[in-house]
Amino acid sequence: MNAFEEIDIHAMTQVQAMAAVDACLRRAGGDVYRLRVIHGYHSGTALRDMVRRRYASHPKVKRVELGLNPGITDLVLREL
């Protein structure tokens, strides 16, 4: 079964958010194909920018996808 994970970091500091996303990526097994990061955008773009910049080159992340909702970024871990 293919798994889709979600993590909400929008109330965190950048350091807390990095630790949470890193932990989620470490725990992601082979069945997880996508990690949806909810970072919000009404209170600024620091978390969004950090997620998109830092995880674009992460070894487990194939690509970063931007959705229609500006408060969400998807990290694609593998193709379906």
**What pLDDT, on a 0 to 100 scale, did the predictor assign at position 43?**
78
- Cα distance between residue 11 and residue 57, in whole Å: 24
Residues 1, 39: contact at Cβ < 8 Å? no
Residue whose entry in the numeric block shows the structure tokens 């379906």: 80
pLDDT tens-digit readout, 1-60: 468 899 999 889 999 999 999 999 999 988 999 999 999 988 789 999 999 999 999 999
Question: Where does 3-76 sit in CATH, by number?
Answer: 3.30.1370.110
Query: Which is nearest to 35 in space by CA: 45, 20, 49?
Result: 20
Residues 39, 75: contact at Cβ < 8 Å? no
**What pLDDT, on a 0 to 100 scale, did the predictor assign at position 30?**
87
